[in-house]
C-alpha cells in the first residue's frame, strides 16, 4: 500500500519535498532538498497529516535531505511528546554528515534515536516489539 503527499515549495532556488510510504510497523517519511524557515511550516503541516492518519511509529528518512535549519529541527520537537504519550516514536535515519552534525551538535541524540540506515531503524522497531 502506497500513498503520496507531495508538496513543493520554491524558496528562491531551494526546494523541499516530502513523500511518505506506509509499512507494516511505521510510516516512513522521506525528505528531499532544503528544509529551512521557508519550508518548515509546510513540513509541519504535512507531517501532522501523516502522523494523524498513520501509524504511531514514524521513521524519517534523511537520505535525500541536503540541508536543515533550526526552524526545520523545531518541527520534530512539536510532535515527539505527543507521539510518545501514544506509545509511538519518531526515529531518524540515514542522515548525511552535514545534517547529522547539526543534530549532534545540538544534542538531539538525547531526544531522538538516530540510525545510519532506514533498515536499521526498522530493525530497532522490530526488536522493541
Tell me how far, at minimum, the Cβ of 74 lies from other proteins, in Å.
Answer: 3
Task: Tell me how far apart the alpha carbons of residues 44 and 73 are, in angstroms, rounded to a whole number.
Answer: 10
CB 30 within 8 A of CB 62: no
- Nearer Cβ to other proteins, position 74 or 116? 74
Tell me how far, at minimum, the Cβ of 57 lies from other proteins, in Å.
Answer: 20
- Nearer Cβ to other proteins, position 11 or 22? 11
Tell me how far, at minimum, the Cβ of 97 lies from other proteins, in Å.
Answer: 12
Tell me how far, at minimum, the Cβ of 44 lies from other proteins, in Å.
Answer: 8
- Nearer Cβ to other proteins, position 49 or 106? 106
Residues near other proteins (CB under 8 A) are 13, 37, 44, 70-71, 73-75, 77-78, 81, 105-108, 110-111
- Nearer Cβ to other proteins, position 34 or 122? 34
Amino acid at each position: 500500500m502506497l500513498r503520496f503527499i507531495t508538496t513543493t515549495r520554491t524558496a528562491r532556488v531551494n526546494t523541499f519535498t516530502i513523500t511518505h510510504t506506509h509499512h507494516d510497523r511505521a510510516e516512513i517519511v522521506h525528505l528531499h532538498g532544503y528544509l529551512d524557515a521557508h519550508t518548515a511550516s509546510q513540513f509541519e503541516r504535512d507531517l501532522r497529516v501523516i502522523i494523524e492518519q498513520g501509524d504511531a511509529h514514524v521513521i524519517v528518512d534523511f537520505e535525500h535531505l541536503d540541508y536543515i535549519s533550526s526552524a526545520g529541527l523545531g518541527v520534530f520537537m512539536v510532535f515527539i511528546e505527543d507521539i510518545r504519550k501514544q506509545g509511538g516514536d519518531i526515529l531518524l535515519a540515514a542522515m548525511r554528515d552535514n545534517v547529522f552534525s547539526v543534530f549532534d551538535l545540538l544534542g538531539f541524540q538525547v531526544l531522538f534515536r538516530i540510525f545510519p540506515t532506514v533498515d536499521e531503524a526498522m530493525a530497532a522497531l522490530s526488536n522493541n516489539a
